Amino acid sequence: MRRTAATVILIISLLLAVPTIAEPFEDASKAYTRGDYKTAYRLFKPMAEQGYAYAQDNLGVMYEYGQGVPQDYAEAVKWFRKAAEQGYAPSQFKLGYKYEKGQGVPQNHSEAVKWYRRAAERGNEIAQMSLGIMYEKGQSVPQDYAEAAKWHLMGAEQGNLICQKKIAFMYMKGQGVPQDYSEVVNWYRQAADQGDADSQNNLGLMYDSGQGVTQDFTEAVKWYSEAADQGYASAQSNLGRMYTWGRGVPQDYVVAHMWFDLAASRFPASEQKRRKIAKRNREIVASKMTPAQIAEAKKLAKEWKPKKER
C-alpha cells in the first residue's frame, strides 16, 4: 500500500514535467514505478538540485518512504520545503502534514495550517480536507464550522470522498451551513457512487425515512444491499429489518435472519449496543420461523462472502 500511494504521488508529479527535462524525468519515473529506486534517485537528484519543484517533491517522497535511500523525515521535509516555497501545492500539503504529525520537524499546528492553506488555495483537495478538519477541531485556528464547511465543499466538488462525507454530515446537522436534507442526499450519493459503504448505508437511510427525497423502500434496499454486500454491519442490520417487514422486498424471514446474524457477528466491540439490537432482532425473527428455516438461514450466513471489502 505504501508503495502504491507513493507511486500515485509520483505519477501525478510527472504530469507537470516541463519539456526541457521530460525525457530524464520520464526515465526517473519509469525506474521508480518498476521499483528501481536507486536509479530513480540518481536521476531525480540532479533535477531537484537544479530547482525543479516536481523532482524535489519526488525526492522528498523517496526519503519519506525510504526508497533507494534510508528513511529520513528531516531530509524529506527539506525537499518538500524547497518545492513548497516555489508554490508547488502537493509539496505544500506534504509539508503541512509533516508539521501536523511532527515528522522531521517539531509538531506545529500553526505551521500546518499555514501550509495547508497555501496548498488549499491552489486547489489541492487533500489540503482542503485537512484545513477543513482543523477548522472543525479548532486546531491553531478558532473553531469555525462555516470555514470548515467552505473547505470541505471545495474538496467535495473535486471528488474527495472524505470531504463529501464531511459536508453531507454538516448539511445534516446544520453545522456551518443551513440544514438541507436534499444536499445531504446529494453528497452521500456522490460518495456512495465511489463505493463507500458507510455513505451507501446513509443514502439508504435517507430513502428509508424520506428525508431529502421521496420515501422509496426499493431504493433504500438497493443502497443497503450495496453496503451490506461489502460486509458493512449497519447496512446488514438495516437490510434484515427490510426483509422482516417486507419493505422494498418480499417479506422473507430466512433472509432477514441471515442478515441479522451477519450483522451481529461483524459489529465491532465498540458498537455493543448495535450488536445487541441485531441479536435481539434475529431472535424475534427466529420466533416466527421453523427449525428448518432457522437452519437454512444459518447455512446461508455461514456460506456468505463479501463481494468487496470496505
Task: State residue 25's pLDDT score.
Answer: 84
CATH number assigned to the domain comprising residue 105: 1.25.40.10
Structural domain range at position 38: 1-122
- Residue 180 within a domain: no
Placement of cell 501536523 in the chain:
100
* Alpha carbon distance 101, 115 (integer Å): 13
Placement of cell 504521488 in the chain:
9
- Residue 8 within a domain: yes
* Alpha carbon distance 129, 259 (integer Å): 35
| φ, ψ for residue 142, nearest 5 deg | -60, 140
* Alpha carbon distance 24, 66 (integer Å): 22
* Alpha carbon distance 203, 238 (integer Å): 12
Placement of cell 473535486 in the chain:
158
Low-confidence stretches of the chain (pLDDT beneath 50)? 1-2, 8, 11-12, 14-19, 310
Placement of cell 534517485 in the chain:
41
Q: What pTM did the predictor assign?
A: 0.87
Rg (CA), the chain: 24
Q: Domain count of the chain?
A: 1
